[in-house]
Structure 1
Amino acid sequence: MSSNEIRFDCRQRGDGGPLVIVPHIDGAPLTELIDRFEIAADMQPAGDAYGGLIPQFFRFGPMKDHFLGRSTKATGLKTPVLGCECGEWGCWPLMACITATADRVIWDAFGQPHRKTRDCMAFGPFQFDRHQYDDALRALSAVLGPDADDTRA
C-alpha cells in the first residue's frame, strides 16, 4: 500500500502577522490540491477559498493532537485541516476525518460544512506512514515552540 507524504508548512501571515499552518501533501499545499479538485468538479465558488489554520486565532489545543483528530475544539467527528482564506477557520473550513493507527494516519471523508451539497468524497483519501507523520508533527511543534498550546481563543 503506497503512502502519501505530509509536512506542515508554518509561516507568518503577511508582514509579521500570526503563524499560519498549511499541510503539504506530496509536496503540494493542501490549499492548491482542494482548489484543483473543486474547480475540476465545477463547484461554485471555487479557487482561493481556503487558507491555513491560525492557532493564535482559535484554541485548537496542541497541534500534535489536533492533527491526530483529537482536538478539543473540533466540530463533531471531523477536524478542520484548512480554514478560510480570510484567516477564520469557521468561515469556510475544509474538514476531514482523521484516523490514526499504530502504522498509519488516514485523512478522508472531506467536506465543507457550509455547503452540504458539495460532494468532496472523491477528494483523497490520503494515507500517511505513521512514523513519517509523527516526524512532521514534531517538526511543526519545534517551529511553534512550547507556548503554542497557550494561544488565545
Structure 2
Amino acid sequence: MAAGDALPWLEPAEDGLFRLKDDLVAAVQQTVPPACQAPVRFLLAGEISNIYKRHGQTRKVHNIVCAPDFDTVAKIQAALERIGNIRSDGRPILGLDSHDLLEIILTISPQCHLPSPAHIWTPWFAILASKSGFDFGRNAFWRPGRPPSSR
C-alpha cells in the first residue's frame, strides 16, 4: 500500500517498507474486519501532476514516485522544489517532462521507482487518455536516442 499521506504514523519495517507505529496498530485492528487484520506494509509514495509540452503538444500525466526511505524523500523534495512549488497542493503540478522526472529520481537513488502513471484510462491525466498527448504509454518515459538513466 502506498503511503503518501500517512507519513507521521509510520516507522521502518523491512528494507524499503514501513508499518504503522505500534501504538496505532491496536486502534486500527478494532476498526477492521478480522479477515483484514493481517500486518500491512507501506511504500513511501507520492503523486505528481506533470503538465508540459513536447514536440509542440501539451502532455498531461499524473505519475507515482516511490522512495526507499525518508532521507531519499527529502532529497526528492529538495530537487523538485527547485523546479516548482511542491507544497501548494496534495498533488504538486510541475512543468516537468515525465522522462526528466524519472531521471531526477534515479539520480537521487537507484532504489527509487516511477512504477507507473497514477491513471491509465481517465480522460485528462492518464497515460493513455484522449487528452494526455500520448498514443503509447512508453512515449511518456522514453525518447528515441535518449533512454532514461539507469543510475
Q: TM-score, normalised by structure 2?
A: 0.25
> Between Structure 1 and Structure 2, which shows a larger proportion of strand residues?
1
Q: TM-score, normalised by structure 1?
A: 0.25
Tell me which structure has the larger Cα radius of gyration. 2
Structure ranking higher on relative contact order (CA contacts 8 Å, 6+ apart) = 1
